[in-house]
Each structure stands twice: as C-alpha cells, then as structure tokens.
Structure 1
Amino acid sequence: MEESLDFIQCLNDCGLQDAGFSGSKYTWCDNRDPPYTIWKRLDRLVHNSQWFDVFNATSVTHLSRTCSDHAPLLVKMNFDNTHIIKYFKFLNIWIEHTEFLEIVKHSWNEEVVGNPLFVLHQKIKRTCKTLSSWSRQAFCDIYEEPKKL
C-alpha cells in the first residue's frame, strides 16, 4: 500500500496524471492457478498537461492478454480541433418514456477508472451522448422535423 502512495506522490510531483482506460480492469496476471491468481493493473499511460494540449482526445484501451502475462495497451492519440460546440439539451419528454431510467442507469454504471473528477466527467459525457443517440432512435430527430416542414 505504501508503494502505491509513493507512486501517486511521484506522479503528482512530476505533474502527471493517469489517462484512464476502457476494457479489462487489470493488465497483468501471474498465471498461477486459482485461488492463488494475482491480478494487477501495472501498465498505464500517464500524461502531463502539455501532452493533453496536443493530444486532447487520447484514449487507452486494455486489450486481451494472449502470449504474455501483460495485456497490451491500445493508445489512440488524436487531436480534436473541431471548434463546433454542441450543447447537450435535456428534453422533458424523455422522462415519460419507459426506457429512460434504464438507459441512464446503464450508461452511468459503466465502469470508468481514473481520478474522481475524470470519472465524473467521463460518466456525464457518456450519459449525455447515450441519451442524445437514444433520443434520435426513440423520438426521431426532433430538430430536423421543423426544418423539413
């Protein structure tokens, strides 16, 4: 446990933060038989603010382990330079739909790993995206209909 605190302190001292991930929770396994198997998240991408300024849409995915005791990390380094701001609009009609609460619950409960603010941000972002997509399926594109008329 003390080693973990030392590692976190080192990251803070260097101005680094964990990039978070999607996929399996662990990246390493000691390959012992259950119940003695040890699973850990040893592999991770950390970045500083300068990295994020250049690659602000970086994502990390833990892939499946195959011939190693470590899982490979798939890192997508993208820069999202689009300046189109799309604001999320909550529509009151959604709450009357029978699927609404289940859609929100399912989206919110998907696991995100990282510092608490990162987790909150990712959950809000994912839930908004899921609701917007679901709304177009359940109610059509309500913004397109008036344009057609």
Structure 2
Amino acid sequence: MDRFNNQINDCHVSDLGFKGPRFTWKGPQNFSGGGLFERLDRALASLNFLNAFPDSIVNVLPCTKFSDHNSLILLLSELPVSKSSKPFRFEAMWLEHETFKDFLIDAWKQSDDLNNTLNDLKDSIIVWNRDVFGFIEKRKRQILARLNGIQKSDAYPSRFVCNLEIKPQNELEEVLKLEEMK
C-alpha cells in the first residue's frame, strides 16, 4: 500500500472523490451474514485534468448481484442534459418485441413528403416506446434507485440492511431478463 501511495504522489494525481455508495467492492460473505466491504475502485486525476474539468464527479452506481464491484461513471460536468436535445435512435431490441412489427406496419403512413412520413413514424415510435416498451426501463431505474439508497445508508453493510437488498437484486434480475427478451 505504501508503494501504491508513493506512486500516486510521484505521478501528482489525486482522488476525484465520489457520489453514491461508499463501498465499491463486496467480498465473500460469511455464514452470519457479514462480510468484507471496501472502497477499492477510485478515479485519479492530474492537475491538468482538474483544471480542464473542474466540475468532474465520479458516480458510484449501486452494486448488483452480477458483479462484486460497483460500476463507476466519470461525469465531466453535472449539467443536466435536456431530453429534447437527445437524438432519436432506433433500438434493435424493439424488433424482438412481439407487437413491434404489427405496430410498425400500422404506424407507417406514407405521404408525398418523405421527411413528414419519417417524422410521423418517429413520433409514433417514441409514444410506443414510452407506453409499451418503456415500462421496463422505468422499473429498472426504480430498482436501481432503491439499491442505491440501501447501499448509501449509514447502516450499510449491517446484516439487516444487506438483507434489504436481496429482494431488489432479484427484481433487477427479472427486469433484465424481460429486457433481454424485448
């Protein structure tokens, strides 16, 4: 550990800190429900980086049962992104949904102007995605928010609080299976 700390000092980098759960790794659990929890994963930055991106922040995402490490996301700015500026993207997984092909046939209303036809189709797909397909994304966000709250708790990783995350972990697994079938 001393060699690692010396290397950090020699490279003139510093820890960016974090937002979210304070542990980034969950080790083996013992029979009494306890286990090892550590903040192993970090983001280090040079002074040049900090000067270029002074508002950067590291978000620690909730740990899922698919990995013993939490994912980290480096945001260069905390400025909110407007949903209206988000470009439309066709999702290949829509093709796997049982109603999408019939919906597409019904939604395609060809006119003389191809731009109008495509814009109308885009608007219809956005509504379909929100009403038919989007409930899975909303549910996933809700479950991840619950896991985040549990893992950010001051009482985490007590046995009681760790037991609270079992149900949302299982719900997340089910939602991800649904998403995979889409």
Give the shorter-chain TM-score range: 0.3 to 0.5
Q: Could you say which structure has the larger radius of gyration? A: 2
| TM-score under structure 1 length normalisation | 0.47
| TM-score under structure 2 length normalisation | 0.39
Higher relative CO (CA 8 A, sep ≥ 6), structure 1 or 2? 2
Higher percent of residues as helix? 2
